[in-house]
Amino acid sequence: MSALGVVRGRVWAFGDDVDTDVMAPWSVITRPFEERRSQVLHTRPEFARDVRPGDLIVAGRNWGCGSSREQAPENLQLLGVGAVLAESFGRIYFRNAIAIAFPNLVCPGIAAGVRDGDELEVDLDAATVHNLRTGTVLRAQPYTAEMAEIIRAGGLLEVLRRRFGGDDGLGVRLRR
Amino acid sequence: MAERVLARTSGRARVAAGEYVTASPDVLMCHEALTMCASQLRRVGVEHLAHPERVHVVLDHFFPAPTAAAARDHVRARRLVEQYGITNFWGHAGICHQVLVEHAAVRPGQLVVGTDSHSSTYGAVGAAGAGIGVTEMTYALATGELWFQVPPTVRVELVGTGGPALMAKDLVLALAGAHGTDVAQYAAIEFGGPVATAMSIAGRMTMANMGAELGAKFACFPADDRTVEYLRDAGAADIEPFGAEPGARYARAITLDTTGLAPHVACPHNPGNVRPVTEVAGTAVHQAFLGSCTNARLEDFAVAAAVLTGRRVHPRVRFVVTPASQRTFLDAVRAGYVATLVEAGAHITASGCGACPGGHQGLLGPGEVCVSSTNRNCVGRMGSTDSSVYRGSPAVVAAAAVAGELIDPRELWTGSTL
Ligand code: SF4
């Protein structure tokens, strides 16, 4: 069984109750990603401007609450965010992230000890989060076997493609 | 209730909280997201839906089409409905959740998934409804199945008496205010108690709808005699009551006493930022919005009309009224509510989601304040990122429309829908 792996990156720290509306505003929701890009998490405009592939998001409670729009985790994934660690997640956001194979872990205690710019190393299989600035290691809730299987497959579409045999230009993001 | 539903749909005798099951939803509701699902289906080589007869399609989020792009999308959606052999097409009937409930397309004990976060609304008639995203819907359309983790259940007991200007919305706002918008995160809510038993289906829909704002996966009322009667009137035969098994165990129990409860509002910019309306009275508003799947049913029209009878909308305020469905619209016309509202200065729009998600038919400009009967008020939800939304019951909205500012609706209306 292949591993989900380790992601390492610098942190963008957010608070509680960040809604999917601000990750994917309705006004640009049907536009191509390049036109949505600058609006992702628009309450903090420097995020979309300065985020680098591999960066991590750390958040408080209820990250991704609100609308079922899948563009919310998708936008973060397309911006190259390596993983999101939060005290808790909105449930539809969390399922959507699994469906598109974008790592998000529930990590109790993460919001208090981490700040902008910290460097974290996240072991997605062991569900450990190592803060390289403070030396602290936190335990996240590991994915269940069922969730991990979907993520390892590259998302639900990849699961379907294997089952139904379609093979015409799947996006790179689904292949990981 | 959730456990019973997930056990039946996954072919097991019983299931327990925390278990994983692969279940076959009875109803799959798609709004405009159908076109995105179809693109994904094509990419993975799926031409036929597993159960086209279980699929319901409603065009509501961009209806009537506000842009040429939306119109194009609708053309595609209509073509897909034919191509897939989907017979349950509710093209232009109103907001998805309202349409499916008022046509008895959803039954007690069913498992319903929808490409909309407020699919919890189906719990009003004893179904387990959960919102999902596009990729999960694509999977469910292709295979007829989806994974579920059986949620723990939070019992919410509603007790007490009604009070002046009190509506179901105040109860669910009070719950979010007192317990937080993640009180039922990953859990199912089961409403019960004397106030729940006495509540209309419209009120139950408001509360089940906003189960989403309490973090819930499902938010259910038991299907009782009132539910059976409602669904029979809506044209469904052989409906049976449905509820929890006797002696069902709950992960947590919460009681809300409605006695003496004041009308509440959720203040900008979070559904959990809830206060009694009296604490923010005097806040000037530019728009009042009566609309959405939360609160734009006949009962809500009746309350707004009661508040506005013999009064006028404040000159500063645009009072935008968007019926939840065409049927609601017609019923409100027949009952005379529409005439009362228009006479008072309200603007009635076509039924659909309208301004609720920041779509069309009444968006907000910079610096504007809206009082709204909807369910969400995050930054920029209804237009400019520099606007703000207060959310309250139809009584709160209508009273503010008259006063030009937030006021205690008890000053204008002393009825109650509880
Ligand atoms: S009315 Fe608003 S909350 Fe309801 S389905 Fe439409 S956009 Fe969503």
B114: which strand partners?
B29, B131
Q: Which residues of A lie inside 8 Å of B (Cβ-Cβ)?
A: 17, 19, 21-22, 25-27, 30, 42-43, 61-62, 65-70, 88, 90-92, 95-96, 99-100, 144, 146, 155-157, 159-161, 163-170
Helix (H, G, I), strand (E, B) or coil at B146: strand
In this predicted structure, the answer to whether residue A169 has a pLDDT above a threshold of 70 is no
Q: Nearest by CB to B147, from A42, A146, A166: name it.
A: A146
Grade residue A166 by pLDDT with cuts at 50, 70 and 90: low
Residues B115 and B247 in one domain: yes
What distance in Å separates the CA atoms of residue B224 and residue B210, rounded to the nearest whole number?
Answer: 21
User: Of the residues B60, B297, B353, B381, which should be mutated to test ligand 1's pocket, given the most ligand atoms within 8 Å of the CB?
Assistant: B353
Q: Is the CB of B118 under 6 A from ligand 1?
A: yes
Helices B201-209 and B168-179 meet at what angle, rounded to 10? 30
Mean pLDDT of B107-115: 98
Q: Is the CB of B370 under 6 A from ligand 1?
A: no
Locate the chain A residue with the closest alpha carbon to B146.
Answer: A156
Locate the chain B residue with the closest alpha carbon to A167.
Answer: B44
For B:324-363, CB contacts with A below 8 A are: 357-359
**Confidence (pLDDT) at B269:** 93
Residue B133: which of A64, A53, A97 has the closest Cα?
A97
* CATH number for the domain harbouring residue A55: 3.20.19.10
In this predicted structure, the answer to whether residue A170 has a pLDDT above a threshold of 90 is no
Grade residue A61 by pLDDT with cuts at 50, 70 and 90: very high
Residue B151: which of B188, B105, B115 has the closest Cα?
B188
Inter-chain residue contact A21 with B380, CB threshold 8 Å: yes
What distance in Å separates the CA atoms of residue B319 and residue B316, rounded to the nearest whole number?
Answer: 10
Residue B212: which of B238, B231, B232, B189 has the closest Cα?
B189
Considering the domain boundaries, does residue B417 fall inside one? no
Helix (H) or strand (E) run with residue A49 in it: helix A46-50
Q: How many residues does chain A have?
A: 176
What value, to the nearest 5°, has the Cα angle with vertex B104 and ends B102 and B108?
120
Say if residues B263 and B170 touch (Cβ distance below 8 Å): yes
Residue B259 contacts A, CB cutoff 8 Å: no
Pick the last residue of a domain from B227, B256, B285: B256
Range of the domain at B281: 266-411
Mean pLDDT of B117-140: 98
Q: Nearest by CB to B44, from A25, A88, A161: name it.
A: A161
Which amino acid is located at B270 in the chain?
A: N
**B218 chain-A contacts, CB cut-off 8 A:** none
Locate the chain B residue with the closest alpha carbon to A150.
Answer: B147
What distance in Å separates the CA atoms of residue B291 and residue B209, rounded to the nearest whole number?
Answer: 13
What distance in Å separates the CA atoms of residue B122 and residue B144, rounded to the nearest whole number?
Answer: 19
What percent of chain B has pLDDT above 70? 100
What is the tens place of the pLDDT at every residue in B38-55? 999 999 999 999 999 999
Considering the domain boundaries, does residue A162 fall inside one? yes
Q: Are strands B27-30 and B55-57 parallel, antiparallel or unpaired?
A: parallel
CA distances (Å), origin A50, targets A41, B175, B335: 12, 39, 56
Inter-chain residue contact B73 with A26, CB threshold 8 Å: no
**Confidence (pLDDT) at B156:** 98
Residues A104 and A135 in one domain: yes
Residues A26 and A104 in one domain: yes
Chosen for mutation from B72, B113, B136 (greatest number of chain A CBs closer than 10 Å) is B136
User: Of the residues B116, B117, B169, B290, which should be mutated to test ligand 1's pocket, given the most ligand atoms within 8 Å of the CB?
Assistant: B116
Pick the last residue of a domain from B207, B224, B256: B256
Residue with tokens 């165990």: B249
Grade residue A172 by pLDDT with cuts at 50, 70 and 90: very low
Considering the domain boundaries, does residue B342 fall inside one? yes
Residues B232 and B301 in one domain: no
What value, to the nearest 5°, has the Cα angle with vertex B192 and ends A64 and A87?
20
What distance in Å separates the CA atoms of residue A13 and residue A158, rounded to the nearest whole number?
Answer: 31
What is the total count of domains within chain A? 2
**Confidence (pLDDT) at A175:** 36
What distance in Å separates the CA atoms of residue B322 and residue B343, rounded to the nearest whole number?
Answer: 16
Residues A103 and A84 in one domain: yes
Residues A86 and A30 in one domain: yes
Total Cβ atoms within 10 A of residue B279: 13
Q: Higher pLDDT residue, B247 or A9?
A: A9
Q: In which order are the strands placed within the sheet that holds A128-131? A: A104-106, A83-86, A56-59, A6-13, A119-123, A128-131, A137-139
Say if residues A69 and A24 touch (Cβ distance below 8 Å): yes
What is the tens place of the pLDDT at every residue in B179-203? 999 999 999 999 999 999 999 999 9
Residues B83 and B223 in one domain: yes
Residues B326 and B385 in one domain: yes
**Confidence (pLDDT) at A167:** 56
**Confidence (pLDDT) at A1:** 57
What pTM was computed for the model? 0.95
What is the B327 CA–ligand 1 centroid distance (Å)? 17
What distance in Å separates the CA atoms of residue A115 and residue A61, rounded to the nearest whole number?
Answer: 15
Inter-chain residue contact B380 with A168, CB threshold 8 Å: no
What is the total count of domains within chain B? 2
Considering the domain boundaries, does residue B152 fall inside one? yes
Mean pLDDT across chain B, nearest whole number? 97
What is the tens place of the pLDDT at every residue in B324-343? 999 999 999 999 999 999 99
* CATH number for the domain harbouring residue B241: 3.30.499.10
**Tokens for B22?**
């692969």
Q: Are strands A119-123 and A128-131 parallel, antiparallel or unpaired?
A: antiparallel
In this predicted structure, the answer to whether residue A133 has a pLDDT above a threshold of 60 is yes
What percent of chain B has pLDDT above 90? 97
**Confidence (pLDDT) at A158:** 95
Residues B251 and B335 in one domain: no
Considering the domain boundaries, does residue B116 fall inside one? yes
**Confidence (pLDDT) at A2:** 74
Strands (E), chain A: 6-13, 56-59, 83-86, 104-106, 119-123, 128-131, 137-139
Considering the domain boundaries, does residue B57 fall inside one? yes
**Confidence (pLDDT) at B108:** 98
What is the tens place of the pLDDT at every residue in B354-386? 999 999 999 999 999 999 999 999 888 999 999
Residue B68 contacts A, CB cutoff 8 Å: no
Ligand 1 atom closest to the CA of B324, numbered from 1: 1
Grade residue A3 by pLDDT with cuts at 50, 70 and 90: confident
Mean pLDDT of B92-105: 97
What distance in Å separates the CA atoms of residue A118 and residue A127, rounded to the nearest whole number?
Answer: 18
The number of C-alpha atoms within 13 Å of B252 and in the hemisphere containing its C-beta is 11
Range of the domain at A75: 6-142
Q: How many residues does chain B have?
A: 418
**Confidence (pLDDT) at A171:** 40
Residues B80 and B216 in one domain: yes
Grade residue B308 by pLDDT with cuts at 50, 70 and 90: very high
What is the B97 CA–ligand 1 centroid distance (Å)? 9
What is the tens place of the pLDDT at every residue in A70-106? 999 999 999 999 999 999 999 999 999 999 999 999 9
Say if residues A174 and A100 touch (Cβ distance below 8 Å): yes
Say if residues B196 and B292 touch (Cβ distance below 8 Å): no
Instruction: Give, using CA atoms, the residue closest to atom 4 of ligand 1.
Output: B293
